[in-house]
Amino acid sequence: MNDEEDKQLINDMRASFEASLPYRVGRASRVKLQNIIPAHWFAAAASECAGMYIAGFFYGAISIAQAYVEALTRYLAEHHHTRIPNDPSKRCRYLHREKLLSQESLNAALAIMSDRNDFHHLNKSVEQEYEKLEARAADCINHLHTIESEVFTYTFGPEPGKVSLKKPDYWPSGGPGLAQVNLRQLW
């Protein structure tokens, strides 16, 4: 590309983004996001989920939410040295029976996974209506918040910048008294 083509591409991209901005703001206002999660192998993909939804990439947001539930429940099972059913929904139910997931988180996980095969395999029955995809993606993001806010509970301590972790063993260590985290924001 030459400089003139680059400038045109920049102008086109800027115009497209600005035209989509009201929709992005609307979507961002409809979802919740856990701002800090542990820096596990699944954190980057999990963090992209809300961004995809806000940008209007609903298939990606739904699919990554489902993959994230699979990875997170596998992590919990392995962390607690429990058997790992291959079926993600069975694994969620098992973690609930072992009291590693609350009923609310179980319901959220099962709701996310309810149409997993349609999205994972792009079956003919996969949703194609834009408004329904948008609503489904928002539901997935909010269900993830339900799960994350339980599993990765934290509070801000009395000291500025200090975070208190409810289950510090779920967070990779960054050294004594430190944890490796993934910081996120909706935009």
Q: What is the pLDDT of residues 108-143, one digit of tens each?
A: 999 999 999 999 999 999 999 999 999 999 999 999
Let me know the angle formed at the C-alpha of 40 by 35 and 41, rounded to the nearest 5 degrees. Answer: 120
Q: What is the pLDDT of residues 67-83, one digit of tens each?
A: 999 999 999 999 999 88
Q: What CATH topology corresponds to 31-183? A: Four Helix Bundle (Hemerythrin (Met), subunit A) (1.20.120)
Residue 143, helix vs strand vs coil: helix
Q: What's residue 159's pLDDT? A: 86
Q: What is the pLDDT of residues 138-168, one digit of tens each?
A: 999 999 999 999 999 999 988 888 899 999 9
Q: How many C-beta atoms lie closer than 10 Å to residue 29's C-beta?
A: 9
Domain segments of the chain as ranges: 31-183
- Residue type present at position 101: L
